[in-house]
Amino acid sequence: MRSASRSSVKDLPRDEIQGAPPRVKDPRASLVGVARDLMRLEESLRGLEKEMRAAIERVPPERRESARNLVHYVALRQHDLRDLQLRLSQRGLSSLSHSESCVMGSLLAVAERAHESLALRGDESARRELSRLGRKRASAMSWETAKARLHQHTRDLFGPRPDERHIYIMVTAPSAKEADRAWMTKMFGAGMNVLRINCAHEGESEWARVVEALGQARSESGKECRVLMDLAGPKIRTGAIAGGRPVATWKPARDDIGRATTPVRVVVHRASALPAEGAGPRLVVRDRDFAKVRTGDELRFRDARGKKRTLAVEATGGDELVALATERAYVLARARARIHRAGRARGALTLEVSDEEGGAIDVKVGDPLVLTRRRVKGKPPRRDGEGTVERPGVVACTLPAALDHLDVGHRVLFDDGCIVAVVERIDEKREDFLVRVVRTQKRNAKLRAEMGINLPDTRMTVPSLTNDDRRALAFVAKHANAVSLSFVRAPEDVRSLHQDLARLGRPDLGVVLKIETREGFESLPRLLLEGLRRPALGVMIARGDLAVEVGFERLAELQEEILWLCEASHVPAIWATQVLDTLARTGVPSRAEVTDAAASVAAECVMLNKGPFVDEAVAALSDILHRMEEHRYKKRSLYRKLEVSTFAPAATAGPRDHGTRRG
């Protein structure tokens, strides 16, 4: 076979590119070459299997064939097969393009067909080879067996298959206050099959309330729903930044004589779920006070100038209160407010201003910036009259160990890649890293505290399981059906989680590997082999973080590769991040996200995030998946009868369902 470095479409003769028969004097000789290349591929697969025998044997017998097939697939993809695939297709043979789930069986079947053709032309060596191929193919995994393995592993992780479709829908739970029994019942009606609880938010008491509400809704509805708890993992963020006084202010629109014409909308956030993104200080209420407020309440307080002011609560839900104000107000640091309901005082709470450091670092392309592992407050740069930086700004990293292998030339991404910098110089103690900003999403960007930091070029040695994760695991082991491991990078991370679950008496708990870093993606075959050693394994394609790490232009390519590797190991994949996100948040979907939702049919489970219209998003996704399942299974197109495949005049009757629903 041609080497991967030499083989490409442009290397082929022009008639082959255009699909014409190759210019070969003896067609039999060409077929001999195809058969020979297939046999070389078989040798390659068996060679890597022998090399990986110890790792395969560590997998329990009931999943060992899945591990072996994964090794075969990795061996297959170490070759550039495009030239061979073209030659196979020209001879009416399978091009191996759908071989992920049963690699050896597919390869042997194609080789057998090629040798049958040669035997019919009188090739005695091909006739002898046929009997060997027949015996080996009989012992290899079939496509039907592989499909059954994948479906069984999917049910092991997510529970019984949904009645209306094959693909499961996972929904992220909002706050414990919102995720009550009524919310759960509504999600069941829309089509939720798995509930995800994010351990990065709230705590054990809130998680217990969510699990209890789910249990009540399950008992009442008779519906099955598994619980996946998502460990937070190591958070690499910017540290506190010093600045001016924390002041929150708002101002309603007024007419020409100063009368308020339109109330101003004021958002009050739950303290434990304050989003990192956003400009300027924001109003915050502590969790214990947040639960006191109801729609229709009035929050009465005196602002920083001593003026009486009122916030009329228009809506409560999730992690935000939405209130309306008709007068200008200033809140400096905090203000004590009385809760009034139906004209009577119902208690009090404290309105606080987020990020009491109140500062931000203004960032422009070309600016130097010091990223430090020292425990100091960040500070803005000093600029001259023309805006040139005289003294770089400083920002700290909340996880200094993450910078252990940061080197000159490595990229540093802030705020989900909105600010991109490159390391230019490191001090002798490796405490301060001088970086140069090379790209910003806005001309004048703001770098604030608690913004995420990604280091896509840097080797990470920080364990995926933090002390907080281990404390959370005790709760997870008692109440969840599966746990997801965030920022997984190496087999050692998976092994460590397995050990902790065994210590807690739950070695059977399902494990989901979240692929959200470049290193995690590059280690995926090894991660899968390690994960197959314990039951109920899944992979979540965390497309948001992964896109930041590898670049949005490569995301589509990488998510396809992850799906292929999951199918090769018969492991269910979860399609995650911003699926129908606009619909969940606003009630109206975008065209792009509907297309994305349709493409998610290639996975076994699709995850939706929270939002006020998430039930509508779940229902829409359920319908999209139901219809798309009739057109596609994994990489394979399914050719059901199409109403459009006719030359008859179009019907003038009302709309009809262009699909046959499957039970």
Q: Give the residue among 163, 162, 176, 262 at the shortest CA–CA distance from 211.
A: 176
Give the DSSP H or E segment for 566: helix 552-568
At 224-249, the pLDDT tens digits run: 999 999 999 998 999 988 765 677 88
| Residues 6+ positions from 259 with CB-CB distance below 8 Å | none
Q: Return the number of other C-beta atoms located less than 10 Å from residue 349's C-beta.
A: 21
What is the average pLDDT across 297-319? Answer: 92
Domain 247-353 and domain 363-454, same fold? Reply is: yes
CA dihedral 243, 454, 228, 102 (to 10 degrees): 170
pTM for this predicted structure: 0.76
For 433, the token pair is 């890293």
CA dihedral 190, 196, 202, 208 (to 10 degrees): 80
Band the pLDDT of 642: cuts 50, 70, 90: confident
At 442-489, the pLDDT tens digits run: 888 889 888 899 999 999 889 999 999 999 999 999 999 999 999 999
Per the DSSP assignment, residues forming a β-bridge with 169 are: 606
For 448, the token pair is 């604030």
Percent of the chain with pLDDT over 90: 65
For 406, the token pair is 């940061």
The owner of tokens 């290899």 is 140
Per the DSSP assignment, residues forming a β-bridge with 241 are: 378
For 105, the token pair is 């069986």
How far is the C-alpha of 368 from the C-alpha of 391, rounded, in Å? 8
Per the DSSP assignment, residues forming a β-bridge with 611 are: none
In the chain, the largest separation of any two C-alpha atoms, in whole Å, equals 102
What is the average pLDDT across 145-160? Answer: 95
CA dihedral 97, 99, 105, 108 (to 10 degrees): 20
CB 625 within 8 A of CB 575: no
Displacement of CA 627 from its chain's centroid (Å) = 23
Which class does domain 150-234+463-637 fall in?
A: alpha beta
Domain ranges, ordered by start, for the chain: 9-141, 150-234+463-637, 247-353, 363-454
CB 91 within 8 A of CB 18: no
User: What CATH number should be reported for the domain whose range is 363-454?
Assistant: 2.40.33.10
At 343-389, the pLDDT tens digits run: 899 999 999 987 544 578 889 999 999 999 999 989 889 888 888 88
Give phi and psi for 226, each to the nearest 5.
Answer: -80, 160
How far is the C-alpha of 485 from the C-alpha of 611, rounded, in Å? 24
How far is the C-alpha of 493 from the C-alpha of 406, rounded, in Å? 21
How far is the C-alpha of 592 from the C-alpha of 585, rounded, in Å? 15
For 132, the token pair is 């060997």
Q: Return the number of other C-beta atoms located less than 10 Å from residue 660's C-beta.
A: 8
Give phi and psi for 141, each to the nearest 5.
Answer: -65, 140
How far is the C-alpha of 331 from the C-alpha of 309, rounded, in Å? 10
For 628, the token pair is 């798309």
**Domain 247-353 annotated CATH 2.60.40:** no
β-bridge pairing 320-325 and 264-270: antiparallel
**Which ranges of 570-628 does DSSP label H, i.e. alpha helix?**
581-586, 591-599, 614-628
Q: Quote the pLDDT of residue 380.
A: 87
Report the chain's mean pLDDT, rounded to a whole number. Answer: 88
How far is the C-alpha of 400 from the C-alpha of 412, rounded, in Å? 14
